[in-house]
Amino acid sequence: MTTVITAAATATAPADGPATAVRLAGRASLECLAEARLSPDTVGLLINVGVYREHNTFEPAVGALVQKEVGINLDYLADPVPGAAFSFDLMNGACGVLNAVQVAQAMLATGSTERVLITAADVHPGGRAALDPDYPYADLGAALLLERSAGDEGGFGPVRTAGSDQDSAVAGYLPTAGMGARGRGRITVRRDTGFADQLLDLAAATAAEYAHAEGLDLDRTLLVTSRPTADFAQRLAARLGLPASAAAAAEAPGPDGRLPHTAAPILGYLQAMGEGLPAEVDQLLFVAAGAGPSAACVSYRPPAR
């Protein structure tokens, strides 16, 4: 038995109004389920990994709000079949999607659920990233539906995580002491000098160790990466001795060049599969690096190939 991707989708912010993390995650989830031709009540677990939210919302869990937005088994007493659904937030910045894959693998392996929906949505706390020239991330939502495969061909490998003893390379936080009347619509994103090199060093070492441990042939692998910087994917490929074409760099929609944050692995996967994998490529290697510094990676072999 392996864990496979059944469907994936993204959602962008409306052009004529503020974005909300809940609605973006909800729209992506509904599109994802529609692609899989499944109803919301077939999902047993929802894991939300988005970090930035409108008004800096932290309670209740955004995962529960997304569950309500999607309509996933909201009254399990009145409608007990197929059973109660569970949702929660898992926050680890750019590595969140891959951490959620690891949790999903465990839940699916034990038979605790048949399907896991992972959602990732980030929006500026003020609702519109386009109005803040210093905010680096795109308002973007994404969803990834995972389930068990009956066979052993294809699917995810084990997830590897790593950290560093260095101080945090990049961090987003709300300075409560000076937040003032408009504090809930603001956020401070700090990127230390040399943060890109710190994240690249950690990601490259983690990916190389993973490839060695799992016996991956990197020449037959497409990298799907997070986007802490615009050229991160290409620089990571070079560090691993691969051409730039061996990396899929997730491109957030929109003309302002903002980078995807927690949704980047899902967006990169969709773009890579949409363009079609080269004939010599038969597997993906997801690599993410972000605040901490921390890194995570996992291999994925599409079942159809």
Of 136, 110, 105, 126, nearest in space to 5 by CA: 105
Q: Tell me: the pLDDT tens digits for 40-85?
A: 989 999 999 988 877 667 678 889 999 999 998 877 666 666 666 7
3-state secondary structure of 170: strand
Please state the CATH superfamily assignment of the domain spanning residues 2-152 in this structure. Answer: Thiolase/Chalcone synthase (3.40.47.10)
Residue with tokens 């709000």: 65
Asked if domains 2-152 and 160-301 share a fold, the reply is yes
Give Rg (Cα) of the chain.
19
Q: Tell me: the pLDDT tens digits for 229-259?
A: 889 999 999 999 999 889 988 887 765 778 8
Domain 160-301 has CATH 3.40.640.10: no
Give me 281's structure tokens: 């490529």
CA distance 34 to 7: 9
Please give the mean pLDDT across all residues of the chain: 86
Of the pLDDT bands very low, low, confident and very high (cuts 50, 70, 90), residue 184 is low
pTM of the model: 0.90
Q: What is the rounded average pLDDT of the residues 100-112?
A: 93
Q: What is the rounded average pLDDT of the residues 27-47?
A: 94
Domain boundaries along the sequence of the chain: 2-152, 160-301
CA distance 214 to 234: 23
Is the separation of the CB atoms in 297 and 288 below 8 Å? yes
**Bigger pLDDT: 164 vs 137:** 137
pLDDT at residue 206, as a whole number: 95
CA distance 276 to 92: 30
* Exposure string for 88-105, b = 16+ CB within 10 A, e = fewer: ebbebbbbbbbbbbbbbb
